[in-house]
Structure 1
């Protein structure tokens, strides 16, 4: 995004209610922000990547893709801006789909495991009704958040991205907490500062951001303050831009409330994990380590080259290994 013209950036990432959706109105809106861009510039940018319009293409993906197309076109030359733009869009889609797939599987497992504490049968991963119903619930949850981000009058870049970004780094804080815990448990307290510094910085930034999104008195920052501002205006019969009708006002109120509750919940859950780990760190530090539930290390029996190109001895070892595997399969898995 840093390589994109500032006027074009704000034209792309501002909601349609603010830009008007047309080159002329979008250029005028950008001018009110203190930047300059002409309607011809906006139309030309869209034509360069063979798109009808780039105005109010919120969500982040078009911005990243357009920035990548600028960088690659500048680096390699030629008229391939449209190719690079759509290549980046495809890459983002594949990345997001794999991330969503992995997240759905983890969420389903956690949901089944949680309900399994009350209904043991539900924790059986091979039981289709449990797997299907848990998957449907998890997909419905992230699907709702995606719908909220896409349809929110304020734009997903303002509503969904802060929640997504902070929660992503809160998850990193949980992972770093696990790393520090393993260091202490394995008796390697002298190296705990390595993930510990990253954890401290992560918690400082994410908890500060979470506090601001929940408790800030600025409606442009705090979710609940934003909700209060729109609710007060709605009670008076007024409309706050970019909302154009009562339904959009109510939509902002609902979405801001949901986002605020989720932001507070994510922060509290992360703090719970970290605070629960601290007594374990202290106990492990005093005793020089604690038992773990990890499986003992078992060297791999797979034979493979150590680099891209196998040496003569490695090729011979691979042939011997493959021959032994064929022999094993031929004997039905018995030696």
Structure 2
């Protein structure tokens, strides 16, 4: 079955006021998204050269305030022409990175967090070294380390990994301890954390955990080893592009029963080359450097 895009279930739709029949993108509205958040998302999705504002179907201007965003159609009214942000999305699936290269990363994240930092669920067996159901997740995916190096994302890291030969991408500052099911949602950009809105958790698809609109707790934010804002911001920007631009990026299957034609599924689906490389890296531990299909400028942080 071909992967679905992310437009299913959207109840917020975005248009150019000068072309009110062409949908530019949209959103599955979750708890906690306010009008000001929506304006910030517009500034990620589009490149504006002048002032703009949003209005609803009744031609009422939407203020950039803390009122909850409502379902409906929204029209961008801009002083000057604007473009859709063409920054490539880094194709990503559920991460399964293992091996000695990530062991020190995993151990550092476990030692720091000892709970899912999104849900707050404690690892009750931590003192006995039982970590079932919890994963150390990379914010910026390990599979794209070549891109990380080329764009010097390591400049944000102030705490190198215990073994510097493992690369700055394996710093504890690029990690979160997550409940395993929440890890899948994080890797698929089903939700993200917005560091520019007091670390609000923002869901982009139905939130079965009732976490959207909540914030990371203060004890985590006070930890000197916590992830750096630049990486959380990068993940949030990717989540907005993946879920809201156009019809959204494909949602790939990850649960393949024994005997499934995984290769066939990948090769006959969208983004086949990128997904195949990521599958090889995450499933086989292959040392494959991944890059976006198109050139990409560094993300402004």
Give the TM-score category using the shorter length.
under 0.3
> Greater strand share, 1 or 2?
2
Larger Rg: 1
> Greater helix share, 1 or 2?
1
- The structure with higher relative contact order (CA 8 Å, sep 6+) is 2
